[in-house]
């Protein structure tokens, strides 16, 4: 397989879902722009190579570099902006009617449980980072494995018709548990026709990567992930867990450096998520909450997600899974009760559901009226 | 001033303002005051916050909303995007909105919730014929058709959209609100050169003020919080630095106090530093003492506009 290296940007025009008129605004020869020759020759005398470079400078810098008058700079910036723009503003009504295939369409990735899908109003959003935090043993990896299978179902059964990229940063991948869940999919997803389930070769479509340090994580996200996503093989990225890498590699004094690395990492995830309309699920550890620290909201427990405000600012949907003392039984199985809570999300209320972890997977306990 | 009254008759009050502004003519302080009153404001649907802001978010000015993740910044922006469309007969601005989303937090489902609740509320309080007529056209479809959504994936796209905004606004004169949610997110990614960032933000701030005044639009921007170490204690402060603090006329800080959510007005030329409690319901941004059942709706106080 050819290894393609993207340097900070992803060629979107190769993507299947683009509409045909998308232009690659990253490199543009000045002659192709509808500008008077005076402006074009002024641009050619500078070191600027693309419309993006022109737009990423303050207008006064552009004026100084080109020696053009202010109205000409304004004209240049307007033309450059029109090239850079992907499409004109749409109304929300047009979006709702599906008139823009690349934009927010309300598509959700089901988590293979109707109770939990109800909590999430459909499932994971396909854009942005979803974080799942909780103490060890709460069942976060269980749910992540389940979602890695759920994504493979066709869209009409709540999936996205593609596989998952599962990046492990701490323990080795729980392959036996995955195999067990695969064998019980017919029980978990009893509403799906058995022919559909047997037609899906689940284990073939979970791509497992190990990233023991930040450098290998960077390589994975900048090389491997775009290839899998662009080929349509994968439409879910799981990072299990983010905390492991960022907590161990930095001493407490280095928190500025750590935040910088966190930002680089989350920027890469965001770019991948947006470019390929792919949900990203990051598993996080928790730490004890400091006594008077209510900056991130009221907590129903004594723990808070790790990595602080810098990471929290990058997360669109924050979920937390907590373990409880009681047990719940179903048939011949019993499970320690868990609770999955929505801490924040732009479209969800702060609510929770009781959850059990069974042989066939993670299932919410139906809410009794 | 005979000429002024001639213009006033022909162009109307607003036209006169634009003409004078373009010509750079001097105006008296009294005229400025009158204009400000006429510019109007957008209700937040929290009567306490509206009262603290002397009516609501001011049109023609830049307002910044800061807060930690999950506290309700996007929720307030979504609420404002619906509230700006309230018909004139109810004291609203009947305007359109451009929503620039840089984080991907604009979710259709949620806009639908907020819009439906606002329509329900005004259907219940509609009194006279004029208001009932207005409700014929103030429904979910029309609300969604008056929100223009722009998704910006990085700061270059955001800057590009702002360059193209004046032309768009000339074609769409009914826009009364511009939301950028958030400015912080794209400017804190990929921009390691802090001095470049500061200069870009300064240019951005000037552009926003110019758009607000020239096109008579309320500009609302959201900002993240960051930790700053001071005297070996960490404080939560708005992101993007000290200089960015001068960009907005009014700054509203949304924060948690224990289990309560509080909106604090920390910078404003007209209002004292006040703090009001709010919460986010399934219907949107609301006061806390609002009765839950919609049989007795708490009406945000807005005066009927004399047409």
Residues 133-192 of chain A whose Cβ lies under 8 A from any Cβ of chain B: none
| Helix ranges (DSSP H) in A189-283 | 194-199, 214-219, 225-230, 242-248, 255-275
pLDDT reading at B106 higher than 80: yes
Min CA distance, B47 vs chain A (Å)? 22
pLDDT, mean of residues B239-253: 89
* Whether residues A137 and A275 fall in one domain: yes
**A34: pLDDT confidence band, cut at 50, 70 and 90?**
confident
Chain A segment 204-263 residues within 8 A of B by beta carbon are: 263
Predicted local confidence at residue B18, as pLDDT = 55
Which of A246, A287, A252, A248 has the alpha carbon at shortest distance from A266? A246
User: Do A24 and A11 touch, CB atoms closer than 8 A?
Assistant: yes
For residues A266 and A352, membership in a common domain is answered with: yes
| Among chain A residues, CA nearest to B227 | A309
B222 in Cβ contact with B79 (< 8 Å): no
φ, ψ of residue A293 in degrees (nearest 5): -95, 95
CA B164/CA B169 separation, integer angstroms: 9
At B196, the pLDDT band (50, 70, 90 cuts) reads: very high
Q: Please tell me the least confidently modeled range out of A18-27, A325-334, B156-165.
A: A18-27
- Whole-angstrom distance, CA of residue B100 vs CA of residue B93: 20
The helix, strand and coil proportions of chain A, stated in percent and rounded to the nearest 5, come to 40, 20, 40
In a domain, B22, yes or no: no
Residue A194, domain member (yes or no): no
| Residue A32 scores a pLDDT above 90 | no
Phi/psi zone of residue A134: left (φ > 0), alpha (ψ -120 to 50 degrees), beta? left
Rounded Cα distance, B215 and B70, in Å:
32
Which among A81, A89, A316 is the nearest to B103, CB-wise? A316
Residue B294 placed within a domain:
no
The alpha-carbon gap from A267 to the nearest alpha carbon of chain B, in Å, equals 7
The pLDDT of residue B300 is above 60: no
Q: Determine which of B163, B177, B183 to mutate to test the interface with A (most A C-beta atoms within 10 Å).
A: B163
- In the structure, what pLDDT confidence band is assigned to residue A9 with cuts at 50, 70 and 90? very low
Q: Mean pLDDT across the stretch B47-65?
A: 93
Calculate what percentage of chain A has a pLDDT beyond 90.
59
For residue range A99-150, what is the model confidence (pLDDT) as tens digits? 776 666 688 999 999 999 999 999 999 989 999 999 999 999 999 999 999 9
B246 has pLDDT over 90: no
Does one domain contain both A255 and A138? yes
Residues A209, A72 share a domain = no
Note whether residue A69 is domain-resident.
yes
Residue B202: domain span:
41-287
pLDDT over threshold 70, residue B68: yes
Does A43 share its domain with A151? no
Please give, rounded to a whole number of angstroms, the shortest distance from the CA of A146 to a CA of chain B. 25
Q: Is A125 helix (H, G, I), strand (E, B) or coil?
A: strand
The beta strand positions in chain A, using DSSP E, are 90-91, 108-109, 124-125, 129-133, 163-168, 206-210, 234-240, 280-284, 286-288, 303-305, 317-330, 333-344, 352-357, 362-364
**% of residues, chain A, pLDDT over 70:** 86
Instruction: Determine, for residues B200 and A58 on separate chains, whether the beta-carbon distance falls below 8 Å.
Output: yes
A99-113, A226-240, B23-37, B268-282 — which one is most confidently predicted on average? Answer: A226-240
Q: What mean pLDDT is predicted for residues B32-37? A: 69
Lowest mean pLDDT among A41-45, B76-80, B190-194, B292-296: B292-296
CB contact under 8 A, B156 and A347: no
Residue A307: inside a domain: yes
A195 located within any domain: no
Residue B225 near chain A (CB below 8 Å): yes
Quick one: pLDDT band at residue A2, thresholds 50, 70, 90?
A: very low
Confidence band (pLDDT; 50, 70, 90) for B162? very high
Both A168 and A247 in one domain: the answer is yes
At A93, the pLDDT band (50, 70, 90 cuts) reads very high
A270 touches chain B (CB under 8 A): yes
Q: Mark whether A35 and A160 lie in a shared domain.
A: no
Smallest CA–CA distance from B202 into chain A, residue:
A58
**Taking a C-beta distance cutoff of 8 angstroms, is the pair A219, A148 a contact?**
no
Residue B296, in any domain of the structure: no
Q: Find the angle CA(A314)-CA(A232)-CA(A6) to the nearest 5 degrees.
A: 60
Q: Are residues A225 and A354 in the same domain?
A: yes
Of A128, A274, A349, the CB nearest to B282: A349
Q: Which of A58, A82, A315 faces B69 most closely, judged by CB atoms? A: A315
**Same domain, yes or no: A281 and A322:** yes
Contact A92 B145 (CB under 8 A): yes
Decide if A96 and B149 are in contact by the 8 Å CB cutoff.
no
Residue B159 belongs to some domain of the structure: yes
* Same domain (yes/no): A168, A267: yes
What is the mean predicted confidence (pLDDT) over B105-126?
93
| Sheet containing A163-168, strands listed edge to edge, beginning at the edge strand earlier in sequence | A206-210, A163-168, A234-240, A280-284, A129-133, A317-330, A333-344, A352-357, A362-364
In a domain, B138, yes or no: yes
A297, A308, A346: residue with CB nearest B107: A346
Q: Could you read off the pLDDT of A225-284 as tens digits, one per residue? A: 999 999 999 999 999 999 988 876 666 667 778 888 899 999 999 999 999 999 999 999
Q: What pLDDT does A248 receive?
A: 65
Q: How confident is the model at residue B17 (pLDDT cuts 50, 70, 90)?
A: low
Nearest to B226 among A60, A106, A309 (CB): A309
B32 within domain boundaries: no
A8 chain-B contacts, CB cut-off 8 A: 190
- Residue B174: predicted pLDDT: 95
pLDDT greater than 50 at residue B307 = no
pLDDT band at residue B298 using 50, 70 and 90 as cut-offs: very low
Determine contact, residues B71/B254, Cβ cutoff 8 Å.
yes
| Number of domains into which chain B is organized | 1
Domains identified in chain A, total number: 2
Q: How far is B174 from chain A (nearest CA, A)?
A: 14
B246 touches chain A (CB under 8 A): no
Looking at this predicted complex, what is its ipTM? 0.88
Q: Identify whether residues A140 and A271 lie together within a single domain.
A: yes
| Averaged pLDDT, A27-33 | 69
When the pLDDT of each residue in chain A is averaged and rounded to a whole number, the result is: 86
Do the chains contact at B68 and A92, CB–CB below 8 Å?
A: no
A3-36 exposure pattern, b = at least 16 Cβ within 10 A, e = fewer: eeeeeeebebeebeeeeeeeeebeebebeebebe
pLDDT confidence tier of residue A167, bands split at 50, 70 and 90: very high
Q: What is the largest CA-CA distance in chain B?
A: 65
Is residue A284 in a domain?
A: yes
Whether the pLDDT of residue A38 is over 80: the answer is yes
Q: Strand B233-238 to strand B225-230: parallel, antiparallel, or no bridges (unpaired)?
A: antiparallel
- Which one of B71, B76, B102, B109 makes the best mutation probe of the A interface by having the most chain A beta carbons within 10 Å? B109
Confidence band for B122, pLDDT divided at 50, 70 and 90? very high
Mean pLDDT, range A51-55, rounded to an integer: 89
B27 or A193: which carries more pLDDT confidence?
A: A193
If you measure CA to CA, which chain A residue comes closest to B108? A106
Q: Does A312 contact B at CB distance below 8 Å?
A: yes
Q: What is the pLDDT of residue B40?
A: 86
Stretch A219-223: mean pLDDT, rounded? 95
Q: What percent of chain B has pLDDT over 70?
A: 85
B36 in any annotated domain = no
A103 part of contact set with chain B, CB < 8 Å: yes
A 32-61 residues inside an 8 A Cβ radius of B: 52, 55-61
Say whether residue B106 is in contact with chain A using an 8 A CB cutoff.
yes
* Residue A72 belongs to domain spanning: 30-84
In a domain, A66, yes or no: yes
The CATH number of whichever domain residue B73 belongs to comes to: 3.40.50.300
Residue A166 lies in a domain: yes
Residue A25, in any domain of the structure? no
Q: What is the pLDDT, as a whole number, of residue A294?
A: 60
B23 within a domain of the structure (yes/no): no
Instruction: Assess contact for B283 and B78: CB atoms under 8 A.
Output: no
- Residue A123's region, left for phi above 0, alpha for psi from -120 to 50, else beta, is left
Q: What is the pLDDT of residue B299?
A: 33
User: In this predicted structure, which of A45-49, A171-175, B58-62 has the lowest mean pLDDT?
Assistant: A45-49
Looking at the fold, whether A125 and A73 belong to one and the same domain comes out as no
Q: How confident is the model at residue A49 (pLDDT cuts 50, 70, 90)?
A: confident
């Amino acid at each position: 397989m050819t290894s393609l290296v993207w340097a900070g940007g992803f060629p979107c025009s190769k993507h299947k879902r683009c509409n045909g008129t998308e232009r690659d605004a990253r490199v543009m020869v000045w002659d192709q722009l509808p500008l008077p020759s005076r402006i074009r020759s002024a641009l050619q005398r500078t070191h600027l190579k693309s419309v993006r470079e022109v737009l990423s400078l303050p207008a006064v810098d552009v004026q100084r570099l080109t020696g053009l008058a202010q109205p000409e700079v304004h004209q240049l910036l307007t033309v450059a902006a029109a090239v850079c723009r992907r499409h004109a503003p749409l109304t929300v009504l047009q979006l709702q009617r599906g008139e823009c295939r690349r934009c927010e369409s309300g598509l959700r990735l089901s988590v293979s449980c109707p109770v939990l899908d109800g909590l999430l109003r459909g499932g994971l959003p396909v854009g942005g980072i979803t974080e799942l935090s909780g103490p060890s043993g709460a069942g976060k990896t269980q749910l992540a494995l389940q979602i890695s299978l759920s994504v493979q179902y066709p869209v009409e059964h709540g999936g996205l018709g593609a596989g998952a990229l599962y990046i492990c940063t701490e323990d080795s991948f729980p392959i036996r548990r995955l195999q067990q869940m695969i064998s019980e999919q017919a029980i978990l997803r009893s509403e799906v026709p058995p022919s559909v389930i047997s037609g899906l070769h689940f284990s073939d479509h979970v791509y497992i990567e190990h990233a023991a340090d930040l450098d290998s994580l960077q390589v994975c996200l900048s090389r491997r992930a775009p290839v899998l996503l662009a080929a349509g093989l994968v439409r879910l990225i799981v990072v299990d867990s983010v905390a492991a890498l960022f907590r161990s590699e930095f001493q407490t004094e280095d928190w500025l450096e750590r935040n910088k690395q966190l930002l680089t990492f989350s920027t890469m995830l965001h770019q991948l998520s947006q470019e390929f309309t792919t949900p990203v699920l990051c598993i996080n550890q928790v730490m004890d909450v400091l006594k008077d620290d209510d900056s991130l909201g009221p907590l129903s427990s004594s723990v808070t997600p790790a990595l602080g405000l810098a990471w929290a600012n990058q997360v669109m949907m924050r979920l937390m899974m907590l373990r409880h003392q009681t047990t719940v039984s179903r048939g011949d199985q019993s499970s320690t009760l868990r609770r999955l809570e929505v801490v924040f999300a732009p479209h969800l209320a702060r609510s929770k559901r009781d959850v059990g972890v069974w042989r066939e997977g993670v299932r919410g306990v139906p809410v009794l009226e | 001033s005979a000429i002024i009254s001639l213009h006033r008759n022909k162009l109307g009050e607003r036209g006169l303002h634009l003409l004078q502004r373009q010509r750079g003519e001097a105006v008296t302080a009294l005229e400025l005051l009158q204009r400000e009153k006429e510019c109007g404001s957008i209700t937040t649907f929290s009567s306490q916050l509206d009262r603290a802001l002397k009516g609501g978010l001011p049109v023609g000015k830049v307002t910044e909303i800061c807060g930690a993740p999950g506290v309700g910044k996007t929720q307030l922006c979504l609420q404002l995007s619906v509230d700006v469309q309230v018909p004139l007969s109810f004291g609203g601005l009947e305007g359109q909105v451009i929503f620039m989303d840089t984080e991907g937090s604009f979710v259709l489902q949620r806009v639908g919730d907020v819009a439906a609740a606002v329509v329900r509320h005004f259907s219940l309080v509609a009194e006279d014929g004029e208001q009932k007529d207005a409700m014929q056209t103030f429904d979910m479809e029309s609300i969604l058709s008056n929100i223009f959504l722009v998704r910006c994936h990085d700061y270059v796209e955001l800057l590009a959209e702002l360059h193209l905004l004046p032309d768009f606004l000339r074609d769409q004169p009914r826009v009364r609100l511009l939301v950028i949610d958030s400015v912080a997110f794209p400017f804190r990614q990929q921009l390691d050169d802090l001095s470049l960032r500061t200069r870009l933000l300064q240019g951005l701030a000037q552009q926003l003020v110019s758009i607000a005044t020239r096109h008579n639009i309320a500009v609302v921007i959201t900002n993240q919080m960051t930790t700053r170490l001071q005297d070996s204690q960490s404080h939560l402060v708005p992101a993007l630095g000290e200089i960015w603090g001068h960009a907005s006329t009014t700054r509203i800080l949304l924060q948690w106090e224990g289990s309560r959510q509080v909106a604090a007005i920390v910078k404003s030329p007209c209002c004292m530093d006040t703090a009001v409690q709010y919460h986010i319901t399934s219907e949107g941004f609301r006061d806390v003492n609002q009765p839950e059942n919609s049989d007795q709706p708490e009406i945000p106080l807005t005066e009927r506009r004399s047409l």
